[in-house]
Amino acid sequence: MKPEEPDSTRRLVVGGITTGLAGALASSAFAQEQAPAQQAPAQQLPPAAQGVRLINPVTEYPRPPFPRQEQEWPGLANKMNPRPDHGEATYRGSGRVTGRKALITGGDSGMGRAAAIAFAREGADVAFGFLPAEQSDADEVIQLIQEAGRKAVPLPGDIRDENFCNQLVTDAVRELGGLDILVNNAARQRSTDSIMDISTDQLDWTFKTNLYVLFWITKAALQHLGPGSAIINTTSATAYEPPKNLVDYAVTKAGIMNFTKSMVKQLAPQGIRVNGVAPGPIWTPLQPSGGLPPDTLPQFGADTPMGRPGQPAELAPIYVLLASAEPSYSTGQIFGAVGGRGGP
């Protein structure tokens, strides 16, 4: 099965119209102010006359059934069929985080990769963490960041080690020359039918990767973040609608949501915003590498109102918005992207 090629005009819509929930309205107003007197207001023109192609989000991306596939943990995006879209061929920046310095955990694939690509094309230098086994995916991200004319700082290692988390931040700050965007995104997900089958080792792995790291890296980063900085935590729709086979994972994602809301009360007076992103079913390596039962993967996302899973590229504009200065009064918020099912 050949992966669908992303529509090259799509990012004009997602990157332009969703340029920020608030920014889009401002851009529209500006365009109307600049229109010649004899021209009809933009909102009165049909979409084609405005130069914007409306898209159908239901059919824009691959839909189930997908080929049955399995990978060893942690999984690679470049081995998935179809390959996830992280915005490689479609995301177009407009300088919304120019000169900023970002650190992303789990930046080799999934939402972390989509955020890394978008940040770079919006003008930021990007450091990102990943496991050594994910090097081939990370190499692609490095190239994409550099092609955008920005500095890429790859930082391989296992974040379950507190010392490595501290070093990760230290190395990112040194190589970037500072830090003002932190994206806590890396996650461990393992499908287990019964709580009786969740071993202490699995619990420890999931809680360390998803929760302990959140504390360790945020504490280290706060020594460098100043007013105007942004922290973005990736939670999940499972925090609101936990499935029976992801008990430990859903508990950690609910914890990330509450961590986000608690940290706002500490950091808002310092001018540091903290927000979360809660994805629904998104097509990433988490799924074929143990995050779902293999027999259910071909129908992944089919039970959403849109009838398909989301793609990482569809979340990139949310990360950009939250990293930018535009939503300056939005902090402690959880932004969903769930295809119509569950979420904040």
Residues 61, 91, 240, 249: which is the catalytic one? 249
Cβ 222 vs Cβ 169: under 8 Å: no
Beta bridge partners of 155: 129
Q: Is the peptide bond before 298 cis (omega within 30 degrees of 0)?
A: no
Go through the chain and tell me how many residues it has: 344
Query: Considering just the CA atoms, what is the radius of gyration of the chain in Å?
Result: 20
Q: Does an H or E element contain 141, and which?
A: helix 135-147
> Residue 321: which of 85, 16, 7 has the closest Cα?
16
**DSSP-assigned letter for residue 2:** P
Among candidate residues 184, 290, 181, 309, the one with its CA nearest the CA of residue 237: 309
Classify 307 in phi/psi space as left (phi over 0), alpha (psi -120 to 50) or beta.
left
Name the token pair of 229.
């900085």
User: For residue 339, is it left (φ>0), alpha (ψ between -120 and 50) or beta?
Assistant: left
Q: How far is CA 285 from CA 50, 77, 80, 248, in A?
A: 38, 6, 7, 19
| Cross-strand partners of 332 | none
DSSP-assigned letter for residue 12: I
249 is known as an active-site residue: yes
Alpha carbon of 188 to those of 118, 158, 337: distances in Å? 23, 12, 20
Residue 70: count other Cβ atoms within 10 Å of its Cβ.
11
> Which are the catalytic amino acids?
249
